[in-house]
Each structure stands twice: as structure tokens, then as C-alpha cells.
Chain A
Amino acid sequence: MNPAPRAALMITCLADIFFPEAGVSLVRLLRTLGVEVDFPAGQTCCGLPLFNSGYHREAAAVAARTVPLFRDAPSVVVPSGSCAWMLKHEYPGLLAGADHQEARALAPEARALAGKTYELSQFLVRVVGRTRFRSAVPGRLTYHDSCHLRRGLGESEAPRTLLRNLEGAEFVELADAEECCGFGGSFAVRLPEVSSAILDKKLAAIEKTGAEAVVACDAGCLLQIAGGLSRRSSPVRALHLAQVLA
């Protein structure tokens, strides 16, 4: 365990405006573990939507304003695999290749940020070292792997470890849990028919588990899955990992 743990929260734009409860739960959870949580002001979006659609100059400008926000943080916790991936995998290269000298000068700092940034489940299991929690949501839970967390950051175990060890909940595996939910950022609105067809398959698998809630570690997937469940009038809830750990 980290001797004097302190972490800065990067809330991410989607969690900030759509799922603030996930952020609140995350802060309370980290505090119960003795982690002091900062929330650096001035946060907006990490720029991933710009990056994925090919607007790399704009994404580099966003990276250049985001990196200094977390300058003083010993570590940065992100409740979204895709945004964590953006910081860890793309910021250093984007800034190193940026048009402006001031942005390029931030590349070393971006590399430092990449090294101290963690997606929530990874932070809990691999940094804090806590894997046993009570469940805030009793009943049966299942888990959807977000693509960026699983394949981008190579993490499929940490969330499962936490869910398997949950006291007061039953964890069941989702069939084809590693398959994309069809969100893909702008993909969801560029090709809504395809995005929804992919989602339908995911929703059918979720409903088949008989779970009360599907848990994910990415606000993007949650937006897509929650939106699909709601349209089906499904009783299944889509929750962020932070919302089920107590």
C-alpha cells in the first residue's frame, strides 16, 4: 500500500455530465481507503473524440491544456478506460508531434502523466492493493469489458477480481463480454444502424445472464448500454464500477 496515498481525479466529460454519481461514489470510495482525492479545476474533455475522428491538431491542443492540470498530482485516477488510454497512449505522441513549440515542450510532462495515470479498477487493485469490497448493489451482477480498457490497456482481470470478491453480490460472466458494445464515440452517430445492431447483440447477452445490473468501467459504453436498455424498457441497470463498490 502506498504510504501517503493522494490521487487526482480526472472525471472525464461524459461522467461529469451524464454520470456524476459515479464520480461521487468514486471519491467516497477512495476516501474510505485512506486516499486523499483532489479534483483539479478546469477539466473538460481529454480530446479522444477529436483524436478518433482524425482532428489531431485540435486533439493536440486539448492535450496541451490538459497535461498541466495534473502537474502536481502524484497519481491520476480516471473512471474510464478510453480516456485513460488517451492520456497514457496518445498524449505523449500527439504532443511530441504538435505544430506549436509550446505544445511540443510538454511532451516530457505528458510522458510523466502517462506513467502516473490509472483507470479506476487498476488503481484499486494494482496501486492501492484492495480487492475486497461490500456490494452497494445486492443481487446478480455481470461485467462488460470496454475495448480500450481490455485491449488498449490490456486489463481484463482487475475489474473481475473486484467483482468476484464482492461481498453481497453474485458475479456472473457475460457471454462474449469482450465484444464491443457498438459505441465507438462518433461511430455511434455516424453509423447508428450498425452501432445499434452491435448493441442489440450485447443487450441480448446481458439480459440472458439474469443480472440486475451490468457493470462497466467506461462512461462511453455505459451511455450506449444504458440507452439501449432504457429503450427496451429493460429492468437491468447499467452501472459504473465505482457505483457497486462500497
Chain B
Amino acid sequence: MTAPATSFRKRAAGALQDAFLKQALSIATTRFLALRQEAFTGFREGEALRDRARAIKEATLQRLDHWLERLVDNVEGRGGRVHYAASAGEARAIVLDIARAAGARLVVKSKSMATEEIELNEALEAAGITPVETDLGEYIIQLAHEKPSHIIAPAIHKTRGQVAELFARELKRPVAADPEALTRIAREELRDRFLKADMGITGANFAVAETGTVVLVTNEGNGRMATSLPRVHVALMGVEKVVPSLSDLVVFLAILARSATGQRLSVYTTLLQGPRAPGELEGPDEFHLVLLDNGRLRQLGGPLREALFCLRCGACLNVCPVYRQIGGHAYGSTYPGPIGILLTAMIQGRPAVSELAHASSLCGACAEACPVRIDIPRMLIDLRRDNVHEGRAPQPGERAVFRLFAWLVRHPRLFRLVARLARLAQWPFVDRGAVRRLPLFFGEWTRTRDLPPLAARTFTERWHDLRRET
């Protein structure tokens, strides 16, 4: 995704003005939170499974080349073809080549953040191929010509009323703002596309190295149809999604849906092995697996290594106080939320997140919710550090301010002198016992909040008397 022109702060402030967004986000994230909580309450194995999942990720990444080789061998052994894409551009070219060779004109897609990452739909359209999103949320945002605003709930920013208006406008089908009625219409519209599509494109939640199995975790059954009805199936996945064995897979399945939607398992867990074999009734003639690097492999030994553990469950978005206020679009990148900042840094490089790395109060709710306990705040701080170190502080002049502060902190007498001066300087701004308006960048605080006045005597000054009290 190209870098947005406006600053994150401006986009976030804009999002805060959107009453519909606020309502939609508040309802959806609160519900996700409650469901996740409920799913883990009384699930006694939960904590141990999270530790186990993390350990599997760590062990798999230690020997990623080995597991990827096994995966390639086993997919190809079942008649599938595996492609490796170093970049988003290479991945697009690979998928387009497959589509052209298959003579595909209409493509049905199951929800996939990896295809969003490489902006596949735009590339398909430019090549005269029509992509149709078949996940309900993705279908909605495709109709609206928007991007997903959540990793698992792409249309989370829309209220049901807005979706009804969208359907009436784009599909010429007036409908009540009722989820069931809306779903029925989408289903009717999509059925025909499934039957006519030449190719199905999906992501992959996991790929099992030892069996060559690609795993899709969905709730709508569209993933299964997209992989069984068209002649050709292409699955695109990040290289880090490989897991060694089916028994490892079970560990992840036990925590993924619980973390994402609060379900014990998603409605559909689809395990796919290669194209249709002789004697099988279902499945495509061709199966392609595209392994996407796009910045991932260089993090195997890099500062964002832990972000490669991510299962894309979205739990960190739902608990993030920043995400819950502004939604996903304000982040301006494919992956929103706390983990999204790390993934953006991974894909686009550190400079791309010099401002975004500060889009967190470092409250730690993300790390707590993460099923594989990714220490997101730690990596955000490290990104800030590396960006400062490389001369990319987010605000012009802030380096001088922080250095001056650091210098004062190391000189207690001057520190105290400045505190005393500030105490004198504040009086013009004190009104009814509070500081209500300050100049310069201090005004960013008083824009919406008061500041208690600096105390007439600091604790340090009072200690002199306090010491003698005993």
C-alpha cells in the first residue's frame, strides 16, 4: 500500500469525528472482547496451550527452511505446484500468470489478508480479470470500494444500516437493516459467481509441512466453495504460516477461534491437500500454493522476529484502546492495530512507521490478549528507539527537547530551578484552581484537559519539614 498523504494524527482525529464509526466499533469490539473472555474462562488448558503454541512457533522458525522444504515436497507430491514470491510484485505476477494460463476471467476469493497485502484485486482488475470477494465482510467493502479495517472483520467499521444502504445503492436491492436479510441477499448474489468462476483464490491460516495440507479457518463456508467449485485454486500465504505437523495444528486451532471470535472452533475448518486426485469427487484440477516473503524472512534474525508468530486473530485490535477509538483505516496500512504497526514495519521497513510506532499508549492489553503472547509494546518501543537512532524522530525538533530534558534530569539543581520557574510562569494560565490553556506544545495537553497547577511547594521542598516531624 502506498504511504498515505496525511499524518496519522490527522487521520485518527478525522476518524474520531465519525459517529457511525464510533458506534460500529464500540459495539463490535466490546462484543468480541466479551466472547473472547467467555471462551477462555473455564478453559483450563487455555494458558498451557498458549505457551505450547508459542513454543511451536519458536521451534518452527528455528528451522523454517527445513519445514518449508518439507511443505513444498509434500504439496508437490500430491500434485500441487508451489511458487515462491520474494515481494508483493512477484506474488502478483505469479498469480496473474496462473490466471492467464488458466484463461480465467472471473475469480472468487475467500477472505485473505495476504492478498490485501499484495493488492491483488487491483492487479487482477488491471489484467481484465474480475475478482469477487465472497466473505460477507469482504463483499461489503468491495462493493463500497474500501479496504478492510480489521484483520478478521473487514467491515467492522460499518453499521448494519450503512450496509443496507450500500446494498440498495450498489445492488439495487432495497433491504431492511437486518443481518439475516443482508446475508441472504449476499448469498443470492454470490451463488452465481461461485458457479461461474474459473479460479478460486484464498489465503491460508496454516500449512502443515508433514502432510502438505493447507488449512482454512472460516465461518461462512465460502472458503470451501472457493476451493472446490472453480477449476483452479490458488492459495497465497506468508512463509511463517507453516506448522510442522497435524498435532501442532490442533494446538493452534484450539486457541485461534477462541481468541478471534470467542468460538471454540470456527464453523468451517477446511483441510486441503493438492488438486482433485483420481477417484475424488471434489476439488480443483489445479492447485497452486504461493509462498510470500515480502519482508518476513529478513526478520528471522531481526528485531521483529516475534511478529512472525502472529496468527492474525485480531484479538490485539479488539482490546487496543487506540484501535477501539479510531478503527483500522486511520492506520493507513493493510494491517491495522498494534500488530499491524509491526507488520507494516516488517513489510515496508522501519521508516514507514516512524509516526505509527507512537500510535500506542503502551498499555500492554495487546500482549495480554495475544494467543501466542507476542510482546507488542516491547517491539513498538524498539521501533521508536531505532527510528530515533537513525534520525527519524516523529516530530521535528523533538530530539532537542528530549535531550534537554535528559540533561536537566541529570542535573538536579537545574531541574529544580526549572520546576520553580515553571511554577512562576504558570500563574497567567491558572484559572479557578487549574491550568486551562497553555502555549506551545503544552497546548496539546490543555486542548481537551486541564492540568493541575504545579504545587506551591514540591515534595522535595517539603521534605525538609517533614523529616523533623517524627
Contacts and interface: CB of A to CB of B under 8 A. Distances in A.
A44 B415 CA distance: 7
Interface string A189-203: 111111111110000
A194 B384 contact: no
A52 B360 CA distance: 11
B1 interface: no
Contacts of A51: 381
Interface stretch (B48-56, B197-205, B337-345, B402-410): B402-410
B388 A39 contact: no
B321 A182 contact: yes
A228 B450 CA distance: 6
A165 interface: no
A232 to B, nearest CB: 9
Given A192-B445, A230-B450, A147 B361 contact: yes
Contacts of A226: 450, 452
B325 A54 contact: no
Interface string B384-413: 111111000111001100110110111010
B24 to A, nearest CB: 15
B455 A39 contact: no
Nearest to B14: A193
A53 B381 CA distance: 7
A39 B410 contact: no
B145 to A, nearest CB: 26
Interface in A159-187: 178-180, 182-187
A228 B445 CA distance: 10
A161 B96 CA distance: 63
Given A39-B463, A58-B402, A151 B363 contact: yes
Contacts of A55: 385, 388, 399, 402-403, 406
Most chain A beta-carbon neighbours within 10 Å: one of B9, B357, B389, B449: B449
Given A62-B406, A187-B362, A230-B434, A16 B449 contact: no
B221 interface: no
A227 interface: yes
B58 to A, nearest CB: 20
Contact of A20 (B360, B447, B459): B459
Contacts of B409: 13, 44-45, 47, 50, 62, 65
Nearest to B382: A54
Interface string B441-467: 110110111111011011111110011
A69 to B, nearest CB: 10
A53 B444 contact: no
Given A42-B412, A180-B363, A24 B462 contact: yes
Contact of B458 (A20, A53, A178, A189): A20
A83 interface: no
Nearest to B451: A227
A15 interface: yes
B364 interface: yes
Contacts of B467: 39
Nearest to A23: B459
A54 B384 contact: yes
Nearest to A225: B449
A192 B448 contact: yes
Contact of A18 (B367, B398, B455, B466): B455
Given A16-B458, A17-B455, A23-B459, A198 B406 contact: no
A16 B459 contact: yes
A209 interface: no
Most chain B beta-carbon neighbours within 10 Å: one of A17, A43, A151: A17
A50 B399 CA distance: 10
A120 interface: no
Contacts of B388: 53-55
A117 interface: no
B466 to A, nearest CB: 6
Contact of B364 (A28, A45, A53, A151): A151
A58 B361 contact: no
B368 interface: yes
Given A187-B361, A190-B395, A24 B325 contact: no
B365 A151 contact: yes
A194 B8 CA distance: 11
Contact of A189 (B360, B444, B466): B444
Contacts of A148: 364
Interface string A17-50: 1111101100110010000000101111101011
Given A42-B412, A50-B405, A182-B321, A190 B455 contact: no
Given A53-B384, A191-B8, A228-B450, 16 more contacts: A11-B459, A13-B409, A19-B452, A20-B459, A28-B469, A43-B412, A49-B402, A53-B398, A54-B385, A147-B364, A151-B363, A179-B321, A179-B365, A188-B445, A193-B12, A199-B449
30 contacts: A16-B459, A17-B419, A17-B455, A18-B452, A20-B462, A23-B459, A27-B466, A31-B469, A41-B412, A43-B412, A43-B460, A44-B410, A50-B409, A53-B358, A54-B389, A55-B385, A55-B406, A56-B385, A147-B364, A187-B362, A188-B444, A188-B445, A191-B9, A191-B12, A193-B16, A196-B448, A198-B321, A227-B452, A228-B448, A230-B434
> What 9 A-B pairs are tightest by C-beta distance, nearest first?
A184-B361, A54-B384, A58-B406, A227-B449, A180-B363, A151-B364, A196-B448, A23-B459, A230-B450
Interface of B: 8-9, 12-13, 16, 321-322, 325-326, 357-365, 367-368, 381, 383-389, 393-395, 398-399, 402-403, 405-406, 408-410, 412, 415, 419, 422-423, 433-434, 436, 441-442, 444-445, 447-452, 454-455, 457-463, 466-467, 469-470
